[in-house]
A and B are shown apart, each in its own frame.
Chain A
Amino acid sequence: MLSHWRQYLAISPFYLVFAVFSLFPVFFSLFLAFQHWDGLSDMKFVGLQQFQFLVRDPVFWQSVGNTLVIWVLSTVPTLFGALVLATLVHSVRRFKGFYRIALFLPNVTSIVAVTIFFGAVFSNNFGLVNAILGAVGIPPVAWLTNPWLIKLVIALLMTWMWTGYNMIIYLAGLQAIPPEVHEAARIDGAGPVGSFFRITLPMLRPIVLFTVVISTINGLQSFSEPQVLFGTNAANASLGGPGQAGLTTLLYFYQEAFMNNDYGYGAAIVWAFFLLIIVLVVVNWRLVQRGRKA
């Protein structure tokens, strides 16, 4: 170990930054979950009280429900759309690079900018979408007021952001499948659809598993979208807009910890949510892995 000190020194910047800005806060937040603290006065140990509050807090459960609905509404079309797009891009012969860049672009655009843009496009009274609907005689839709439409808009935003990213990963997976396999299938009489479901999909399984796990972790952490959409909502700032329909769990955590300065309760929220994410990742893992043994 000592003889390798130079190597350790070389990799130390990352680990030092990681320890200070990630590892320590993780354990500190676990400690905080058992305290009552407003950030300035003395901390008070309260045992499991914060978690007792959590169980009885309807807003917390509502936020978990919102998060799950938004996650399903965004992940399913994202992954499905990404797979379709990847297959299409994989089969085109010209401008492949252009399509790849064009489809990936939304992912590298600032999430705040995209959210502000979506907020303007879907604005109840003056949005582009309602203007177009009005032009064909459909009355305006309350996109940012109706609890389900709020979730739909947030999910759409996330789909827009993440489809290209997953498409690139699928595309890499598709390119790794040896062409001989497809050739053999074609000679045996398989059509394009048959070979997609019987050859491409099974061979992509590890990639799909990866994207499902990553999307679960990302999708459940939705925060910026509702924060930017409803952050300045004067009626309930940073509380997810009308009816708190866009209040995701991370936004609720932010609200409690940093707006209400109730750091103990905020920490309890994120730790409870961490357990939930683990459960969901395991369930997803099982679901995607299941077909393999059969």
Chain B
Amino acid sequence: MELSRRRFLQASALTAAAAGFSAACGSSGAGADGKDLTLWYWGGGLSDKVVADAKTHFAADIALTASSVGGDFKQKLVTTLAAGGKSVPDITGIKGEDMASFIPSASRFLDLNDLGFKGVSSQYLAWKTKRAQTPDGKQLGFPIDIGPTGMYYRVDLFEQAGLPTDPAKVAAQIKSWDDFFAAGAQLHRAVPKSFPMRNLPELFSIVVNQGTKRFIDESNHFIGDQDHIRTAWNTAVKGFTSGLDGKVDDNSWNAAIATGTLGVELGAAWHALDIEQAAPDLKGQWRVASMPGGPANDGGSFLALPKQCRNPDQAFKIISWILSPENDVRGFTDAALFPAAPAAYKLPAMTAGDPYFGGQSTIDVFGPAAEAIPISYEAPADAAVMAPYRTELTNIEASGKSPDAAWTDAVSQAKQIAQRQGVS
């Protein structure tokens, strides 16, 4: 059949009309009655098994559709929230490091305290809950997991260096950062290829996370030039000047763990899995002790309900079920999510010894650390203001910039970013 122009136009007009019609039908079907709820999270953000069980558990009342959203999760969430309408998820995950930047947009979320979070909040760690709270006490996020940190170390290398190998003894000897550098130097002398620290920015972040103050205070003033930040900076730089910096970046990290370039690795509880995957052959050689200088948190996320949520009461029931202490433990077993509910730490799944760590029960280190993490105020612009410090520390490491010049540049850039972000 020869396609005439008229027929072609008719055909395309019909196709367009049909497409528009079916699209209209498709969107009008979605639950105005609040029986259909959508959940957004990212791969590994929740235990997939618990999410699947939640679907069946609530199947009588609610059809829950869970999507594991890939790519830049925060960016997609911001865009969707800004666009509004029906595409906004009823329940969404928010990564811990992004939480602070959502606080100014609290009006886009429901206050979980109104829905019953007040009744269960005592089950969760106070410092964690507080991070998802607005200054006037609105609760935006329900804690999923946390990242208490510890000091992972190689037993065989510590033995060679004449250092204690038992976690309790290691913790007793290495209490402060000075102890850490002393032990690190001893390790590096005995095993010259081995270093106790990965790189400067990483150590800097840990020391900042150990403090109660960060870069911006509650009254929105820049405090990144004060002593507490300078101390963190000096601690990181000290590792460099005393020759204990492994200068390991992300690309070479796996090899550095496997070959023993890193005899010590500072990191969160979930980091154990990374070590295990990087060096399966070193099974039994790693242990973990408490962090020098005190406990710190690194990572951990929340679930939140956007204000478009079609059935807030049911949605809250679902998230409090998914994140109950019993299911939190399953999150730990399935996805290495460290529970934010201390009740979970006593359950068998958490107290069992880890064969990779020579049968050590790592909860003995991470449990007390989790409960002792300091409460600190993280301003919305905190991550942006922190970036120049990390960049300048890399400059010291990579191109030998003088630490004092790097500090001056970091502070002046941080001040500028703070000003741009509306910090006084």
Contact = CB atoms under 8 A, between A and B. Distances in A.
A63 interface: no
Interface stretch (B75-83, B148-156, B285-293, B361-369): B75-83
Contact of B82 (A39, A53, A123, A239): A39
A59 interface: yes
Interface string B383-404: 1100110110111011100000
A65 to B, nearest CB: 16
A232 B252 CA distance: 13
Nearest to A240: B391
Interface of B is mostly: helix
Contacts of B419: 53
B393 A40 contact: no
Interface of A: 6, 9-10, 36, 38-41, 50, 53, 56-59, 119, 123-126, 142, 144-147, 232-236, 239, 242-244, 258, 260-262, 265
Contacts of B202: 234-235
Interface stretch (B61-69, B101-109, B134-142, B209-217): B101-109
B352 interface: no
B194 interface: no
B201 A53 contact: no
B250 A234 contact: yes
A40 B108 contact: yes
B416 to A, nearest CB: 6
B398 A145 contact: yes
A50 B419 CA distance: 11
A53 B105 contact: no
A236 B251 contact: no
B16 to A, nearest CB: 10
B397 to A, nearest CB: 8
Interface residues of B, number: 43
Given A40-B105, A233-B249, A235-B202, A242 B420 contact: no
A142 B419 CA distance: 35
Contacts of B422: 36
B378 to A, nearest CB: 15
Looking at B5, B255, B399, the one whose CB has the most chain A CB atoms below 10 A away is B399
B413 A243 contact: no
B141 to A, nearest CB: 15
Given A40-B78, A235-B201, A242-B399, A9 B255 contact: no
A50 B255 CA distance: 44
Contact of A262 (B79, B249, B255, B384): B384
Contact of B399 (A9, A243, A261, A265): A243
B421 interface: yes
B416 A234 contact: no
Nearest to B422: A36
B9 interface: yes
B96 to A, nearest CB: 15
Contacts of B381: 260
Given A123-B251, A126-B252, A236-B390, A58 B413 contact: yes
B60 to A, nearest CB: 35
B391 A235 contact: yes
5 contacts: A119-B251, A236-B387, A239-B387, A243-B399, A260-B417
Contacts of B252: 123-126
B420 A265 contact: yes
Going nearest first, the 9 A-B pairs with the smallest beta carbon separation are: A40-B105, A235-B201, A242-B398, A260-B384, A125-B252, A236-B391, A39-B78, A145-B398, A235-B394
A9 B82 contact: no
A56 B78 contact: no
B82 A242 contact: no
Given A41-B104, A124-B252, A235 B390 contact: yes
Given A124-B252, A243-B394, A59 B105 contact: no
Contacts of B250: 232-234
Interface of B: 5, 9, 72, 75, 78-79, 81-82, 101-102, 104-105, 108, 199, 201-202, 249-252, 255, 380-381, 383-384, 387-388, 390-391, 393-395, 397-399, 409, 413, 416-417, 419-422
Contacts of A145: 398
Contacts of A243: 391, 394-395, 398-399
Nearest to A10: B9
A126 B398 CA distance: 17
A260 B381 CA distance: 8
Nearest to B81: A40
A92 to B, nearest CB: 40
Nearest to A50: B420
A197 B251 CA distance: 47
Contacts of A142: 398
A226 to B, nearest CB: 14
Nearest to B252: A125
Nearest to B401: A243
Contacts of A59: 388, 413
B78 A239 contact: no
Nearest to B5: A6
Nearest to A232: B250
Contacts of A124: 249, 251-252
Nearest to A236: B391
Contacts of B75: 258
Given A9-B9, A243-B398, A235 B393 contact: yes
Nearest to B412: A58
Contacts of B398: 142, 145-146, 242-243
A242 B251 CA distance: 13
B229 to A, nearest CB: 17
Nearest to A229: B251
A256 to B, nearest CB: 8
A39 B166 CA distance: 51
A41 B384 CA distance: 18
Contacts of B72: 258
B416 A53 contact: yes
Q: Which of A56, A59, A261, A265 has the most CB of B within 10 A?
A: A261
B74 to A, nearest CB: 8
A235 B399 contact: no
Contacts of A53: 416, 419-420
Contacts of A10: 9
Contacts of B79: 39
Given A235-B390, A260-B417, 16 more contacts: A10-B9, A40-B102, A58-B413, A125-B251, A126-B252, A146-B399, A234-B201, A234-B249, A236-B394, A239-B387, A239-B391, A242-B397, A258-B75, A261-B78, A261-B101, A262-B384
Contact of A244 (B249, B380, B391, B421): B391
